[in-house]
Structure 1
């Protein structure tokens, strides 16, 4: 199986290295990732300047690796269109430093890279690990990523879907139940407002507001120490309102 591996933390990030190390034991892996940190880029692509592709040697890995002067979505497009000559069977995105649960997935470059693969009719898995004390438990996230791949491979490769995998920091047992669940609710940030001498104001994100966790969602299950897996769909049509809107224009 031929896998394209990307992320939004950059080509030199520890998370992508850990996932590549596990995947290349059994699969043909090509790494295509941003040359620098591109978190929270969502589904942005580069339009007004050329993308620069550089082959990079990652010590300890046998997989070919390339850096892209663009976004995570750019990396998937470049990998498919210009770098990997043969058919790509699956795209992995991650391991992200920090969870991509709840409505954070809207802003996530990690998840958006997986969605970009879906646009090309390639199944994908986004992998994220909880950030704590400046680091993440990439080891358990990589193990769960392999577990998900092996348990879903026969069906996954027949389907054009996105799977979003998250693992909590304190989880160490790959045999613990994996919770298949829905996306949690909104996650709101605190903004610190500061007045400047020139009359301008600056807004800085400093922490997150406490919100009630809905039972059965990814955020709830993660808080209970479980890894979570959520199938995502990016059809933006609100079909339930289609007939209603038509009536408004009669």
Structure 2
């Protein structure tokens, strides 16, 4: 049974736009789509190929061509040769403009998007794009594991999202949901916490290509200092699910007020 929404005097089933950054054929996308159909009608528009780490990139110099992907003889999803943000922008501005979308869900990403990683994440960027349009948007990520249980993670995501959208305060909001492996094995609490700001240790491994030229391979390491216990990074270490409300307004309002008195001149 899907959620019902009222438009004017008409009752209609909630329409959900599903996307990701791992590509239209990723197992996390399929698992999440299966569960979200318990909440309403799901329209899937996702990148044709993996777009991990592209952040909020938008395609301007090449055309965006949505290709219909069929399963069992019927349309299943649209594949777009572009970024996750492209998929959401194209959907809300053109593909679904005559059929209102009530909820945007991005995921399930293979790998957590917590702490400062939200700045690089294509998964989170897709949700941000949905929030730009005033649509409630949720990014969903699962801890990377060779045996990752996307089906179990999708159930957790569906349960959290179904509770989240029942609160009026969440309408048009932006949320980041992270699920550790432990939570797919045994029931774990959902912690509503801020994103951690710990600086990850960033290293590069220098290598030589067959032509003798240097190239560099990015490596990741844990932050040097342990994260504050009341952040997403710390709670995920404890095996808890984390939910973080985000916003995309980057203005430092407290400094803005001071700066208006500085009499700056060009």
Give yes or no for the alignment of 1:240 onto 2:246.
no
RMSD (Å) for aligned C-alpha atoms: 2.2
User: Could you list the per-position Cα deviations for residues 158-189 of structure 1 after superposition, in whole angstroms to 9, with x for gaps in the alignment?
Assistant: 62211100011122367531000010123233
CA 1:223/1:63 → structure 2, altered by over 3 Å: closer, same or farther? farther
> Aligned residue pairs: how many?
248
Structure 1 unaligned residues grouped into runs of 5+ = none
Which stretch of structure 1 is more off in the superposition, 192-201 or 114-123?
192-201
- Structure 2 residue aligned with 1:119: 132
SS in 2 for 1:115: helix
- Structure 1 residue aligned with 2:77: 65
Task: Tell me how far 1:154 sits from its aligned partner.
Answer: 2.3
CA 1:75/1:157 → structure 2, altered by over 3 Å: closer, same or farther? farther
TM-score (norm 1): 0.91
**CA–CA distance in 2 between the matches of 1:135 and 1:187?**
25
Which stretch of structure 1 is more off in the superposition, 207-216 or 160-169?
207-216
**CA–CA distance in 1 between the matches of 2:235 and 2:220?**
21
TM-score (norm 2): 0.86
State how 1:50-199 maps to structure 2 within 5 Å.
Answer: 50-58=63-71, 64-84=76-96, 85-132=98-145, 134-155=146-167, 159-172=171-184, 175-185=187-197, 186-194=199-207
Verify the 8 A CA contact 1:42 1:106 in the aligned structure 2: yes
Task: Tell me how far 1:246 sits from its aligned partner.
Answer: 2.9
Structure 2 unaligned residues grouped into runs of 5+ = 1-13
Verify the 8 A CA contact 2:164 2:170 in the aligned structure 1: no
**CA–CA distance in 2 between the matches of 1:90 and 1:98?**
22
Counterpart of 2:48 (choices 6, 20, 35) is 35
SS in 2 for 1:191: strand
Task: Tell me how far 1:141 sits from its aligned partner.
Answer: 1.9
- Runs of 4+ residues over 4 Å off in structure 1: 195-200
Counterpart of 2:238 (choices 221, 224, 244) is 224
